[in-house]
Structure 1
Amino acid sequence: MKRYRRLLGIASLALALTLTTVSCTPGPAILSQHSALPTTASGQDSGLPTTTPLETPTANQKIPVYWLGHSNESVFLYREFSPVPTTDDPIVASLRIMMADKPQDPDFFSVWNEPSQLGASISAKNVITIDISSDAFAQKVDAGIAERSIAQLVYTATASASMSGLIDPSANIGVSILVDGHTGYNAFGHVLLDKPLTRNTGFVAPVWITEPSNGTVTKALPLNVSGSGMSPTGKLVWILEAMEDGKVSHVAMSGTVEISQGPNELGSFNFVLVPPLGNYQVSVFIEDPSRPGVRVGVDTKVLSISAP
């Protein structure tokens, strides 16, 4: 029960201070957010995932990019895949998208600015070095968003390096961030970049839909919904809601799905649906028995099913 309460507390934590400035590409939620996020989260202390495996190499011609996204009153890390836009090094290509482009899902955002200089290298000791110009840190944000943004860079760099086969996904990977060629920069005025960083598992989304992606239009049924999550019961709740004029109209289907690893462990989930043609929003979340109707850790995707 104590672990359950910690999990629910992280996913719905009340916030306290003020975001002084927002990104040029934030989702709508952050524009009205007048409170600050808690800083460094520990997976072991929070009840959230304590391990986040690296992505595995793939022949898919897409690159991974992590974004920040709102869930309840907190912000977590979520991943999307983007087409390879240039002949850049894959790490640099992923980071350029993260800093200069917009996510596919409007619930996601980033506070990075496009840098004038960006480079990446990998040492024989599995340390990725990112050298970035200081103009990437022009946004003014609170300490919570600053820490999550640095974690966003670490996750994106390590995911891209691993998926492209540049590093061994079973190795312990560090990321060293240089700014204008020097170590020790105070990123966003809150995070001292004086040593190699690893993935901070406390910032990973507690529920995360990886398929379908937001905005998917499909003619193929059944509809496959998959992702990863963690709950105290080992189950998640899903709801498929019909949409009219861009707004949720009514619940079309609902149910539960089991997490592959069982209770209190980060694992995958998968279920299939055969709804009528139309526009939908699919939501997956943790159910809190003490608060009926509250969707804890919710992730949503909007999609359309059209005639073949």
Structure 2
Amino acid sequence: MNDNSHDPFDELMRRALHEEADRIEPADALLEIRNRAHAQRPSTHRPWFLTAGVAAVGTAAAIGAFTVFANTDTTANDGDSVAGQRTTSALPETQAPTVLTASPMPSQAPKTRGVPETSVRDMLVPVYWLGTQVGAQKKTSARLYRTWAKVSGRPAEQAVRIMTTKNPNDPDYYSVWRGAAVNAVTRDDDEVTVDFKQLPDATLDEDVARVAAQQLVYTVQGALKDDQTPVRITQNGQAVQQLFGRIDASAPLNRALASDVQALVWIDSPTQDQALTPKVTVQGVAAAFEATVNYQATNLKTREVRKSHTNTKQGQAFAPYSFQLTLSPGPWQISVYLVSPADGTVTDTDSKAILVK
């Protein structure tokens, strides 16, 4: 068991994950999984994995050293109520483009907005980030990764504020929304409206822009626990015609299929840089060929390695997985990933650095 099993935040986390698991509708990701099975090379955005060589299906590879990053007050820490803190400097250019003041607003006015959200106290909300997809054939490929944040106030508004002003606490994730400033989130029977003081004015690769737009949709709908109502984007109450130079934002944005935008592997628990006792439970969601999920844990000090595989509750669809590890004290890197049945290469991965006490 983790050493903070009686922490109120852990109880909130378990409850939220349980609710999310109950809401999972197994989406058929077979086509996506088949496409990923033929990926030939890993991404350069996860250097710890470049030393990996997988000889056969189901085997894992050595993982290079990975620094355990300390949280700062600019980090979206899952254990803190981070919304509403000061805006910080933008991410490095390798992670996110420069964010500028948006172009002059169009004269067309949107339909009347709905009512504000109800305020909450100490509620866990999902916040989505972009991450480079390991094994993708395009260097610009990006996927959605989910983290959790505890907020007080209006949940969707606070979740968007985190997404636009904070660094994710996992260094593998990033956001192209940095610098945007949210006014309010309102809703009526037909749509949710997210009104911004300013929007990013960067022009992105078409595929990245599409996933970045869904980053907002998934975050807002996740905080509202409503994955059906479309999301309209406005700026200072005025209609927005285009987002990131690629996305038609003149109409509300619907939620894309998870298989089109979501990472095929998530680690929900433990979180990045979490301190734990030797018995560690790893939980997450994956869409895996034949329900097989591979994992590897590496002690970054002694180079001790533990590797094996587990199964999701359902194959060829997004479904929960869980496994337990007994680890010696020290800094560890836990990686969960998929392996191509065609050639044994790693196709998708998520990783967390933890400290075992």
TM-score under structure 2 length normalisation: 0.65
1:296 aligns with 2:347: yes
Aligned with 2:214: secondary structure? helix
Identify which of 268, 271, 274 aligns with 1:213. 271
Contact 1:27 1:109 in 2 (8 A): no
1:236 aligns with 2:300: no
The code of the aligned residue for 1:141 comes to L
Q: Deviations over 1:108-146 (max 9, x none)?
A: 001113334521111023x2111113x321334222222
Q: Match for residue 218 of structure 2?
A: 155
Mapping 1:273-292, distance limit 5 Å: 273-292=325-344
Contact 1:65 1:94 in 2 (8 A): yes
Q: Match for residue 78 of structure 1?
A: 145
Q: Match for residue 39 of structure 1?
A: none
Identify which of 179, 184, 192 aligns with 1:114. 179
Q: Deviations over 1:259-290 (max 9, x none)?
A: 101x2111000001111111111111111243
Q: Match for residue 20 of structure 1?
A: none
The code of the aligned residue for 1:277 comes to P
The code of the aligned residue for 2:128 comes to Y
Measure how far apart 1:150 and its partner are: 0.9
The code of the aligned residue for 1:236 comes to V
Mapping 1:26-37, distance limit 5 Å: 30=95
Aligned with 1:250: secondary structure? coil
Following the alignment from structure 1 to structure 2, what is the Cα–Cα distance between the partners of residues 225 and 136? 37
The code of the aligned residue for 1:300 comes to S
Contact 1:96 1:114 in 2 (8 A): no
Contact 2:164 2:181 in 1 (8 A): no
Change (3 A) 1:11 1:107: farther
Following the alignment from structure 1 to structure 2, what is the Cα–Cα distance between the partners of residues 236 and 13? 17
The code of the aligned residue for 2:295 comes to W
Q: Match for residue 131 of structure 2?
A: 69
Measure how far apart 1:97 and its partner are: 0.7
Following the alignment from structure 2 to structure 1, what is the Cα–Cα distance between the partners of residues 264 and 236? 35
Change (3 A) 1:62 1:228: same
Following the alignment from structure 1 to structure 2, what is the Cα–Cα distance between the partners of residues 151 and 104? 20
Mapping 1:50-61, distance limit 5 Å: 61=123
Aligned with 1:280: secondary structure? strand
Q: Deviations over 1:193-243 (max 9, x none)?
A: 022222212110101110001111113x42010100011211111111111
More off after superposition, 144-153 vs 107-116: 107-116
Change (3 A) 1:70 1:295: same
Q: Match for residue 262 of structure 2?
A: 204
Question: Whose RCO is larger (CA < 8 A, sep 6+)?
Answer: 2
Q: Match for residue 35 of structure 2?
A: 6
Contact 2:125 2:159 in 1 (8 A): yes
Q: Match for residue 93 of structure 1?
A: 158
Following the alignment from structure 2 to structure 1, what is the Cα–Cα distance between the partners of residues 170 and 296? 18
Q: Match for residue 254 of structure 1?
A: 307
Following the alignment from structure 2 to structure 1, what is the Cα–Cα distance between the partners of residues 312 and 162? 31
Measure how far apart 1:291 and its partner are: 2.8
Question: Any gaps of 5 or more consecutive residues in structure 1?
Answer: 16-22, 32-57, 163-168
Measure how far apart 1:105 and its partner are: 0.3
1:25 aligns with 2:91: yes
Following the alignment from structure 2 to structure 1, what is the Cα–Cα distance between the partners of residues 33 and 184? 42
Following the alignment from structure 1 to structure 2, what is the Cα–Cα distance between the partners of residues 71 and 270? 22
Following the alignment from structure 1 to structure 2, what is the Cα–Cα distance between the partners of residues 218 and 27? 34
Query: 4+ runs of 1 displaced by more than 4 Å?
Result: 1-4, 9-15
Contact 1:113 1:139 in 2 (8 A): no
Following the alignment from structure 1 to structure 2, what is the Cα–Cα distance between the partners of residues 217 and 206? 26
Question: Any gaps of 5 or more consecutive residues in structure 2?
Answer: 1-29, 45-88, 97-119
